[in-house]
């Protein structure tokens, strides 16, 4: 069984366990999903409405995580507004004890500050990790999990970063890429010098630990 931490494209493949991203304004038409307000899609007039939908969905057994949500310094929405929306979502993740799938761009220090202040007490996964070993170590040291996908396939240097991540602290994903999760697993298996079956076991264990599922 392949496990896909984060995808926007449900494949309905019987050999793949997928956590499909569903924004508050999207219908739930998949077996397992995550839901949250992405910083790119903050609509200030609708934040209250969207948060109410998210809170309802977090109580569903097939809602495995809050997200994707987070912080992005490279967009026009002010970081103060992003942080306010993010903190409200983290409070719900804490209340309903759901892991958090994070979109994080150039806001590492802010993320750590918010986490330390709010103490959500749930697993938090940086999806689409693309940075160097130093950043990876800082995030791991602060208790975050890392998920690899698009950039693992696009950037040869990322294989060495994945190779140094402890086996109980990483996931694999497709997000919006056209390649399938099998291709991501093949690349990750090469990076970590292990066979696909062993990698599947590792990630399956990580899913059970973080999502109490899979």
pLDDT of residue 148: 98
pLDDT of residue 214 exceeding 60, the answer is no
pLDDT of residue 22: 97
Across the range 120-141, mean pLDDT stands at 97
Where residue 98 falls among pLDDT bands split at 50, 70, 90? very high
Asked if 173 and 4 count as a contact pair (C-beta separation under 8 A), the reply is: yes
pLDDT of residue 154: 97
What pTM, to 2 d.p., does this model score? 0.96
Across the range 90-118, mean pLDDT stands at 96
Give the count of alpha carbons within 13 A of 16, CB side only: 22
Burial profile 175-214: b = 16 or more Cβ within 10 angstroms, e = fewer: bebeebbeebbebbbebbeeeeeebbebbeebbeebbeeb
Binding site as annotated, residues for a divalent metal cation: 68, 103, 127, 175
Provide, rounded to the nearest whole percent, the portion of the chain with pLDDT above 70.
Answer: 99
The per-residue pLDDT of the chain, averaged, comes to 96
pLDDT tens, position by position, 1-51: 999 999 999 999 999 999 999 999 999 999 999 999 999 999 999 999 999
Helix/strand/coil (H, E, C) string of the chain? CEEEEEECCCCCCCCEEEEEECCCCCCCCCCCEEECCCHHHCCCCCHHHHHHHHHHHHCCCCEEEEEEEEEECCCCCCHHHHHHHHHHHHHHHHHHCCCEEEEEECCHHHHHHHHHHHCCCCCEEECCCCCCHHHHHHHHHCCCEEEECHHHHHCCCHHHHHHHCCCCCEEECCECCCCCHHHHHHHHHHHHCCCHHHHHHHHHHHHHHHHCCC
Fold (topology level) of 2-211: TIM Barrel (3.20.20)
Where residue 132 falls among pLDDT bands split at 50, 70, 90? very high
pLDDT tens, position by position, 35-48: 999 999 999 999 99
Across the range 91-108, mean pLDDT stands at 96
pLDDT tens, position by position, 73-82: 999 999 999 9
Binding site as annotated, residues: 68, 103, 127, 175
Asked if 94 and 141 count as a contact pair (C-beta separation under 8 A), the reply is: no
pLDDT of residue 213: 64
Asked if 145 and 5 count as a contact pair (C-beta separation under 8 A), the reply is: no
pLDDT of residue 212: 83
């Amino acid at each position: 069984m392949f496990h896909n931490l984060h995808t926007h494209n449900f494949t309905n493949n019987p050999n793949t366990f997928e956590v499909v991203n569903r924004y508050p304004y999207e219908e739930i038409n998949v077996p397992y999903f995550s839901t949250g307000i992405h910083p790119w899609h903050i609509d200030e007039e609708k934040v209250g409405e969207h948060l109410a939908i998210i809170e309802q969905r977090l109580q569903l057994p097939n809602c495995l995580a809050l997200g994707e949500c987070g912080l992005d310094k490279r967009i026009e929405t002010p970081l103060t507004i992003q942080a306010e929306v993010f903190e409200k979502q983290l409070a719900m993740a804490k209340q309903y004890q759901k892991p958090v799938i994070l979109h994080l761009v150039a806001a590492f220090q802010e993320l750590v500050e918010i986490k330390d202040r709010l103490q959500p007490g749930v697993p938090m996964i940086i999806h689409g990790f693309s940075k160097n070993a130093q950043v990876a170590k800082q995030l791991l040291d602060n208790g975050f999990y890392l998920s690899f996908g698009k950039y693992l396939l696009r950037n040869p240097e990322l294989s060495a970063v994945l190779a140094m991540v402890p086996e109980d602290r990483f996931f694999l994903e497709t997000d919006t890429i056209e390649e399938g999760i099998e291709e991501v697993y093949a690349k990750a298996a090469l990076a970590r010098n292990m066979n696909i079956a062993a990698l599947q076991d590792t990630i399956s264990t990580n899913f059970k630990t973080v999502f109490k599922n899979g």
